[in-house]
Amino acid sequence: MIRVEGLCKTFTSGWLRRRRVEAVKDVSFSIAKGETLGLVGESGCGKSTLSRLMVKLLPADQGRIYMEDQDITNYTMTQMLPLRRQMQIIFQHPDSALNPRQTMQQSLIEPLLLHRLMGKDEALHKAVELLELVGLGSDMLIRYPHQISGGQIQRVVIARALTLNPRFLVLDEPTSMLDVSVQAQVMEVLQQVQSQFEMAYLFISHDLELVAHVCQHMVIMHQGEIVEQACSKVVMEQPQHPYTRQLVQAFGDMR
């Protein structure tokens, strides 16, 4: 479904004393149709930067990005517009993904109208269907972000990401801001949606237990590099890299 080869991204900061930070270093992996790949690492290791490179929200310095064997690395914004329907991202802070001045109805139908996929009445019907899919009622349409809970916002953001029927979805810490009970509900919704539409997921988290539970394969990232990748069972039972062993040991100590 999607493949990256040798991705690199360096940021430069400072005015008088220039400082270079290698956020992503020579990263390669692939995600198959219907697969969930877990990306694990501590805060600041480059996980979010990598996700933004994959969906072309940031330009890569080096490397290649393929969507179904189509090289999209150097696509312009105009060339990417049709592919935006196939590649969506759910950000770590879902409340920042919604316009506080728009109702849920406006937020949900906006992508459909922007891509001219259907008229307003049909888009409204689609919005109701998506809300039902994520376990919310049509009464949600008239509400603003400040009028609903964090768990409800996350579900609306998921529904909004699904409006264009994407084939690849990046989930950047989708449950980190939620309590345990709501986390379980959100993950159940995501798994149901994936099963129904055979979507590929990149699931980003620092929660090793959660990733091991929901992901078939796992990639461990440390200081911008991929230090280990294998099926989740192997990573948890036979970690090879010292950093991975530290993560697994820490997970064991917490249980």
pLDDT tens, position by position, 187-241: 887 888 788 888 899 999 888 888 888 898 999 999 999 999 999 989 998 999 9
Q: Which residue would you say has higher pLDDT here, 59 or 185?
A: 59
pLDDT tens, position by position, 91-111: 877 667 788 899 999 989 988
Which residues pair with residue 30 across a beta bridge? Answer: 3
Long-range contacts of 117-123 (CB under 8 A, 24+ apart): 117/164
Instruction: List phi, psi (to 5°) of 143.
Output: -90, 155
The structural domains of the chain, with segments of one domain joined by +, span: 1-86+202-255
pLDDT tens, position by position, 81-90: 888 888 988 8
The mean predicted confidence, pLDDT, of the chain is: 86
Superfamily per CATH, domain 1-86+202-255: P-loop containing nucleotide triphosphate hydrolases (3.40.50.300)
Q: What is the pLDDT at residue 253?
A: 61
The model's pTM:
0.84
Burial status of residue 213 (CB atoms within 10 A of its CB: 0-12, 13-18, 19 or more): exposed
